[in-house]
Structure 1
Amino acid sequence: MASTSHRALQLLSLLGSRRTWRLRDLAARLTVSERTVRRDLDTLRELGYPVLTVRGPDGGYRLGTGHALPPLLFDHDQALAIAIALQTAPSSVFGLQDDSARALATVQQAMPDTLRAAMESLRLTRLRNYWEFPAPPIDPAALTTVGTAVRLRRVLVTEVLRPDGTRAAPGEADFAAARRLEPHHLVVWAGRWYLVAYDLEDRNWRVLRVDRLHPHPTTRAFAPREPPGDDLAHFVMSSHDRGDTPAAWQCTGSARLNLPAHVVARWAPGGSVVEHLDAGHCRLTLGAWSWAGIAGILATFDTDLTDLHPPELLQACRHIARRYAGIRTAEVRQSSRD
């Protein structure tokens, strides 16, 4: 009986994912026969859970709406996932430090001892790595507004903010009028939240940093559109004009690369800026903890570099070149002795 109850809870947890499950897939996940799964489904129905049968070639079973799941149906791996998510969320969303801590404590209090111990064993301490490319925390109000518009398919009217979060006034050089957008997808990459939207002003797809938006919801609905390309993540990563600004570093420099902007944008670190120059060239601006660090990142693109700024960056590149040339000279001398 105990194993049957445990298996029924596992089954309910799978159905709670809101997807439609084929009978053989449920049996494989629970490592039981299909006949056993049918009995467990009947058990859940007897307990009052609306388990629906979906007909057709893509049919199976799913949980209906209007139900209440038993609290905290988590296995060990799910408990660890919750612990990680609640402890890392404050680093990307502004103002969630206390709320995340309280949520983690509430979840732990309602869990069995074994799962609580597993979660408490994963107390994370965030350490700053010199090669970490930080992103500013995002305003949860803006994130909620954009996320709701994506979910409900409602047009957004939004202004683009400056990197410091302020809005340019009419008449200022960087002033831009509010735009009407169809928000289709939210994508998180390199610690930054991006909105993939269809711009109703210029009739084109755009990638926008959510932390650079001042969004206003509307009640105007829009129909789904086919996303640009087959790979949404690739579209975001290869869009050079996605609103990125250089992250704050001890050193910031730039160089002209003999590569297209979309190629450099795909591989440039988070917190860097790619400027389109022409079909085969772009300018990359980025920061690091040293000038040699920037030079090292530029070298990974394996292309010719020109117009380096500031002079300290040019000097660092030349110093590294001399150092590498010295390695070759030392190898030749050692070979001649041998």
Structure 2
Amino acid sequence: MPATPDPAHSAHSADSAEPAANPVLPLGENPVAVLEAAVWAMAAIVGTQRQALSEPLADVLRADPQRTAVLESVGLVRRGADGFAVHPALHQADAATASSAVEAKLSSLRQAVAAAAADGAGAPAAGWGAQADEVLLHQGRASAATGRALAAKIVPRLAGCAERLAADGGRILDVGAGVGALALALAEGFPRARVEGIDVLERAVGLGRAELAAADPAVAARVSLHHRDAVEVSEKEAYQLVWLPAPFLSEEALRAALPRLAEALVPGGWLVAGTNSLADDALRRSVGRWTAVRGGGNSFDTARMTVELEALGLTETNTFPTVPGGPVLVAARRPAR
């Protein structure tokens, strides 16, 4: 889940059920042509954001008026007497992850092209294992923003969690740790906790260990990365916090892993799962499900994840929206004794 979350509020009802209506986007008489143009609009977004990594955004917008006109046509930019008014969605993520966030968007475009060129109807991709090291690094580094949001905005709202992680002996499990960026961010956020990351992709773990070697030694010393499947987690009552990016696991793996992850929590500990949001329109919902499954993941949404966690006996379930249309985090607690 490479989106950059900025949770602003919790909402028990947010994304808790399929929208009542199933609206089709108004694409006019030639929807194929409009959607083809939308691909170019996305190219304009990525190109603008990429160039703005090294130049002021206002200068970038002025330098290519034709490209900027595309952004104006979709409401991301408005030209005024005093310059450009820019939609928040176009602004870069924090400086630490802006480059990787842009590269993650570019990777998504490349994957869409690969899906279009795939042989055989609906031929699935080989999942993250088929991606180049560069893609894994960019996608993984972008997840640092999720780790910072968890530490600063989510954990303080989970009863007792921050206090436990502030004490000696605090442990966090990062499932699907990838290259370790989120694990490092959590270690920075909780200076007395240890973060254990696991990933089923051995190559990603190798890249992550190289990332740890280049990180602040005082932080990296409290992070460990292991080549391990989530379904192999066998610890009991070991972690105060478990992070689970649910869309990246297959449905079979997710169902097998959830009971083990619940048992791995200490009594009173919290599991936080990232889930696919239920967009207001059918296009984004269907694309989200297709890309998740095609990449080796699952189509669980927020409501279904909530049901699964509660069926395992976890309580105090709550949801935390991130960016508009982005992932929704579901938090649930193992009952204290």
Kindly name which structure, 1 or 2, has the bigger radius of gyration based on alpha carbons. 1
Settle same-fold status: TM greater than 0.5: no
Q: What is the TM-score with the length of structure 2 in the denominator?
A: 0.24
Greater helix proportion:
2
Greater strand proportion:
1
Structure number with the bigger relative contact order (C-alpha 8 A, sep ≥ 6) is: 2
